[in-house]
A = this chain, B = another copy of it.
Amino acid sequence: MKFDIVITNGTVVTCNKDFEIFENGIICIKDGDLVKIEDGSGLQSIPEADKIIDAKGSIVMPGLVNTHTHLPMTLFRGLADDLPLQEWLEEHIFPAEAKHINKESVKIGTRLACAEMIMSGTTACCDGYFLEKDVAEAVFASGIRAVLGQGVIDFPAPGVPDPSENINHAEAYASTLLNTSPLITPSIFCHSPYTCSPETLKKAKAAADSNQLVFQIHVAETKHEYENFQSEHHLTPVQYLDSLGILDKNTLLVHCVWVDDKDIEIMLKQGVNVSHNPESNMKLASGIAPVSKMLSAGIPVGLGTDGCASNNTLDLFRTMDITAKLHKVDMSDPTVMSAIQVLKIATIGGAKVIGLDMVTGSLEAGKKADLIIIKTDQPHMVPMYHPASHLVYTAQGSDVYTSMINGRIVLEDGKLLCMDLEEILEDSRAIGKVIANGK
């Protein structure tokens, strides 16, 4: 067989079940599929292919999976830092959204986000926002793989001024987007249990279920939320959602900072998935999610950056490093959240929680070719005793020089191939100026 692309000579970190690493691996790609991944050191000759990529001195690994984003919010990056959550939200972010978020700006912010993600090693993401159809248009053009959730909230929102239309709007969005591209899967994103009525939550979940879509929801993010549910419902936020019957294997619970042991039991029993966003939780001082406990219990966890208004980057290499360090100090145990465990949740773990683990998240024959190539000829990557250590504790987004999604090269030698970076930066700066003046 003549392949489309063959990658040779790299250190291949598969992130498969046995966490196999091939020091001198070979990867063969045809029609967007990973056909063969194996040790290439004994090979007599390189398999025939239209394109050979020599990854000598580099690490090849599955692309990173960002399980929680609000892509257009790149436009608010650094707009309001170091503020109490309510002031940040009510005096800065909500007003900026009301004034500046429209179909055009959403596309520009999303393009900026996709450029940043691709250039820092992310090949798939799970987004939740309003005007998600416009997000989808921009995401589609970027070539990134994505689960894209239309926002549902019982307040007027960009594109859905009448909250009583929120479910209809989300349903129409999902059916329009369904099966339009192999790279894009629609989803429903309920904002939270405190901004949606029980009826809205149940209807939104039913809408997601009718097409087996991922149902995303922010939950148990702050102590305030936790205490409010306890006093109003005598239930934790997680138990409240469970009482509405909306926790199952298609549910993605985002944050889960304030969950107790009983919550973890329920989450495990119902088979829910968790998106962990440590940087956002730290920056907003929300708290530290008991992720190590969840993982030990067997709950699937993926990593997320959250939106750029609260993080402020989409670089998952940074997120991996912080995740490993944060939980060690939080649990007074340097053995928890090892480099390998963190690498797993940033790849196959992330793919699992957004429903894409049959397609992406590891380098295995039969999956799609979503992979990144990382240079190691930099002082911070030398010497190298174990690639997992460097990928988690020293690599940075800018070390990724080539990236492939669904077999298509989207970044080559540091250059974005499928987007006009100059134009994206110019358009984003122009909106930034308007936002800065109009605050």
Contact = CB atoms under 8 A, between A and B. Distances in A.
Total copies of this chain within the assembly: 2
Nearest to A88: B334
Interface in A299-318: 311-315, 318
Interface residues of A, number: 75
A77 B431 contact: no
A377 B426 CA distance: 9
Most buried by B among A120, A312, A386, A397: A312
Interface in A185-227: 223
Interface in A67-87: 74-75, 77-79, 81-85
16 contacts: A77-B394, A78-B384, A81-B338, A81-B386, A81-B389, A81-B393, A82-B335, A84-B335, A120-B380, A282-B329, A285-B332, A318-B396, A326-B329, A382-B429, A384-B432, A398-B399
Interface of A: 74-75, 77-79, 81-85, 88, 112-113, 115-116, 119-120, 223, 279, 281-288, 311-315, 318, 321-322, 324-326, 328-329, 331-335, 337-339, 377-380, 382-386, 389-390, 393-394, 396-399, 421, 424-425, 428-429, 431-433, 435-436
Given A112-B382, A313-B380, 20 more contacts: A75-B383, A78-B385, A81-B389, A82-B328, A116-B380, A119-B378, A120-B380, A281-B329, A282-B328, A283-B325, A284-B334, A287-B332, A313-B393, A318-B318, A322-B325, A383-B429, A383-B432, A384-B429, A385-B435, A396-B397
